[in-house]
Chains A and B, each alone.
Chain A
Amino acid sequence: MNDDIIKIQGLSKHYHGQKVLDNIDLNIVRGEFLTLLGPSGCGKTTLLRLISGFENPDSGTVIINGHDVAGIPPHQRHVNTVFQSFALFPHLNVFENIAFGLRCQNISTPEINSRVREALRMVKLSELSQRKPHQLSGGQQQRVAIARAVVNQPLVLLLDEPLSSLDYGLRKNMQIELKQLQRQLGITFIFVTHDQEEALSMSDRIAVVQAGRIEQIGAPREIYEEPINLRVAQFIGQVNIFDTDIIEINDKALKVRIEGRELDLENRRGFRADQHIYTLIRPEDIKVWDETEVTDTHNMLPATVEQVIYKGSTVDLMIRLPSGRLIAATEFFDEDDDTLDYERGEKVWVEWYPGWEVLLPHE
């Protein structure tokens, strides 16, 4: 596709003999909001630094807007970064911070003024343009950092955990504002976070990075509902994992044994008989029935309620299976069932909506 603004091929990077990025392939579509999601130390910042030109790869290529950027210094890459620490210039006021990039090019003063004023308006800081960075709140500094980058109209904006130093409420606001800004500007965003909720709610696509490799890349829903392996599934959201034996198999259906009970599942991945697989099921996909509510216990597992955590709109349950395993379930209040009064020690039956489980082979 020619609409890829960045193409990364076979990118590897070592520090002191330790592999930090391992053969990364990644295409980033023009105008998309791509999130790099992964635990601390998995190489997200390193990947951004390779794109922005602050580090050189050991092997592999980075192509930005059709040009191989090997050897091109950071200031000529038309890529701007919003740093986690903001890195605002303490000796310059807000206006001059934002104007910095423009002043480095030969742009006329009137144009600089109008573009900076426009950027200030965009991040709602017009009133504070004469303040120094240390006279601003964290959220305001954040906005200056963003304005300072986007005013240069970069091909790609790299954001390295830009929200992680903000408190919860501000963070939620900035998430919405960032997303709006990205739509409005149409600039490609590469956003780094280790907060999966943030990634799910903001991104067009998520790349799950682990130990220097991209495990899976796809739309948030795809990543959440169809994780391709256990590591991705466990990193994104809570998940219950069952060891599963296949007893009988045909094109459409599986008969499996989970926790000593036989269940019927859909066969979607072409498994073989006698294969050991994992069944993954998210807490919110689990239904918990009171013993008295059920007559047909086919495809259900017996269990005992161990803990009840009331969360306002949901109730989180910890449920113990006869084998002694604990699983998590989240029940939603809805019109049909507004009671949801589970008690500790209560005997229940557990099931899930057929087909909502994810089946993965042993690796």
Chain B
Amino acid sequence: MNSDRLFTRFAIGINAAWLTLFALVPIILILIVSFLKPDPNFFVLMHFSPRSYLTLINPIYLKVFARSLLLALITAGCCLCIGYPFAFILAQLKTRFKPLLLLLVIIPFWTSSLLRSYAMVILLEAHGILNSFLLRWHIISQPLHLLYTNTAVLIGLVYCLLPFMILPLYANIEKLDLRLIEAARDLGASHLQAFGKVIIPLTLPGIISGTVLVLLPAMTLFYIPDLLGGAKSLLLGNLIQMQFLYTGNWPQGSAVSIALTVLMSLLLLLYLRLIPKAQRSQPL
């Protein structure tokens, strides 16, 4: 009893320390830096200044932001369209290979996504694997121009982020009580009606979690637009990266990061508002 409580406290303590050290402290540091002045020689000048935030209203920033958001939304949409049926089928499978299939979804996490992005380059190149394949089977007569286009960035993002959509969806759909679908059908619902009136509302938490999990990285993953989109495709992530690494304007980079964090927090808050508590943790 007593040692149990001790362990609980210990575990909570470790977690709290971890989060403080690696999540809270960095955010506070970034927040502080974002209100300082840039100094090309010594990273930052210790002078308070809201200038970095005022710059954010600059149309160029807004444009990059809008572009990033649009691309992230399209990415999330694509991930949802691919991930939902995938997660659904996976969750309903009754074979003993189910854990193996789930593992296949997770395995890509084990390799650096940077490496996987390079792999995508090889795949999408003018003389890459995809084009050779399509040419060989006479599906196309000219190599497709994929690499260094927005399509390539989209493909790369979807490829990289799909597991973030599938896993929460899978967790949600697996809990779905199939008898409810039968009940809907019994009460006169067509397949489509059962899907719209029962399955979608009951898997909404998974859909939203997946979307949020895909949206955020989709806006900030800088190396995918870098590698696959070439110089043309400047997104929010690249912007932040540039501010830190090339222009050396840390306060500006920090301000963009903070703005993004605030936006995502607002989205999460909206999610908690929209989905009533009872539905987030479905009681039987």
Contacts and interface: CB of A to CB of B under 8 A. Distances in A.
Interface of A: 52, 54, 73-76, 79-81, 83, 85, 87-91, 100-101, 103-105, 132, 134, 148-149, 152
Given A54-B185, A104-B189, A149-B187, 15 more contacts: A54-B182, A54-B186, A74-B185, A75-B190, A76-B188, A80-B187, A83-B182, A83-B183, A90-B282, A90-B283, A100-B197, A103-B197, A104-B190, A104-B193, A134-B283
Given A85-B179, A90-B283, A101 B188 contact: yes
Given A100-B197, A132-B278, A134-B283, A87 B183 contact: yes
Nearest to A133: B283
A284 B70 CA distance: 81
B185 to A, nearest CB: 5
Interface residues of B, number: 22
A80 B190 CA distance: 14
B198 interface: yes
Contact of B188 (A85, A89, A91, A105): A105
9 contacts: A74-B185, A75-B188, A83-B179, A87-B177, A90-B279, A100-B197, A101-B189, A104-B184, A152-B187
B202 interface: yes
A75 B282 contact: no
A300 to B, nearest CB: 56
Given A132-B278, A134-B278, A89 B183 contact: yes
Contacts of B284: 90, 134
A156 to B, nearest CB: 12
A155 to B, nearest CB: 12
Given A104-B190, A104-B193, A134-B283, A87 B180 contact: yes
B202 A91 contact: yes
Nearest to A148: B187
Nearest to A149: B187
A225 B183 CA distance: 38
Given A91-B201, A91-B279, A100-B197, A75 B179 contact: no
Contacts of B198: 89
Interface in B268-284: 278-279, 282-284
B43 to A, nearest CB: 51
Contacts of B190: 75, 104
A83 B179 CA distance: 9
A148 B189 CA distance: 13
A152 B183 contact: no
A85 B181 CA distance: 13
In the A-B complex, list the 3 residue pairs whose CB atoms are closest, starting with the nearest.
Answer: A101-B187, A87-B183, A134-B283
